[in-house]
Homo-oligomer: A and B are copies of this chain.
Amino acid sequence: MISKEQIKNSLKRFHFYSGIQIEVLPASEREAFKKFGKKIILLRRKILFKQGSFPTGIFVLKSGKLKVYQTNSDGSIQVLFIYTVGDVFGYRPILSNDYQPASVAALEDCELLFIDRKNFINLIVKSISLSNQLLISLSREFTVLTNRITLFAQRGIKERFAIVLLILNEKYRSEKESISEITLSRTDLANFVGTSVESLSRMINVFKTKKLIKTEGKKIVIENIRELYLLSAID
């Protein structure tokens, strides 16, 4: 019998579970984050920045949820990640001197901390512990991304949907609960799984009749984590 602990551990290979943590930084860096940080409110459905734009700084998500997504030339959309409280993002294109590789929009009303590009660069060149955290975090994320590539290249939408549900379960879960209410729209969900809304809708039905999930209006609640995990066929 697989324990929930084991499942959670396996899932770590498929989502970002801990990026950089400001609390762990030395006091001076923490101060700098506070000092340079500007509070931003981003309302639900609003776009923070768009793919292809110039990265003006980095963000720390204080409350709410964000989606990161890419838009293709044919208009199709791929949701790549969901960011939740505590996530730090937007620093990668600054480091590699690129434009934004993806767009970010709010799934719920969000509160963010914004640190200006220049201040961030100043911070990073001075702070070994910050650059080390980034290095470690990026290395871990690299693994997550390669696993996702294999998942998308090799698995059908049933498996992909199963694992997306498990990932979202982690993202939408409060600290204590092991089960969460997933409130993503069908469209966002489909774009995360990499399928059409219609196919997703049918797959939801399949999962419902298998008693893996239940729905309350648009919300999805997981009923059987273990079966979902087995279905996802990740080892």
Q: Which residues of A does B touch, CB under 8 Å?
A: 13, 70, 72-74, 76, 78, 80, 91-93, 95-98, 101-102, 128, 131-132, 134-143, 145-150, 152-154, 194, 233-235
Contact = CB atoms under 8 A, between A and B. Distances in A.
Q: In the complex this chain forms, how many copies of it are found? A: 2
A233 B139 contact: no
Nearest to A12: B98
B136 A95 contact: yes
A23 B209 CA distance: 60
Q: Is the interface of A mostly helix, strand, loop or mixed?
A: helix
20 contacts: A70-B146, A70-B147, A70-B150, A72-B150, A72-B154, A73-B234, A92-B139, A93-B139, A96-B136, A96-B137, A96-B140, A96-B142, A98-B139, A98-B140, A101-B143, A101-B147, A131-B131, A142-B142, A145-B149, A152-B194
A49 B130 CA distance: 31
Contacts of A101: 13, 142-143, 146-147
Given A70-B147, A145-B145, A95 B135 contact: yes
Given A78-B150, A80-B150, A96-B139, 14 more contacts: A70-B146, A70-B147, A72-B235, A73-B235, A80-B146, A91-B139, A92-B139, A93-B143, A97-B136, A98-B140, A102-B146, A134-B135, A138-B138, A141-B142
A95 B133 CA distance: 10
A135 B97 CA distance: 12
Contacts of A146: 70, 80, 101-102, 145
Nearest to A234: B73
Contacts of A140: 96, 98
A149 B149 CA distance: 5
B135 A194 contact: no
A203 B142 CA distance: 30
Contacts of A194: 152-154
Contacts of A134: 135
Which of A137, A140, A233 has the largest number of chain B CB atoms within 10 A?
Answer: A140
A112 B179 CA distance: 48
B149 A142 contact: no
A208 B234 CA distance: 37
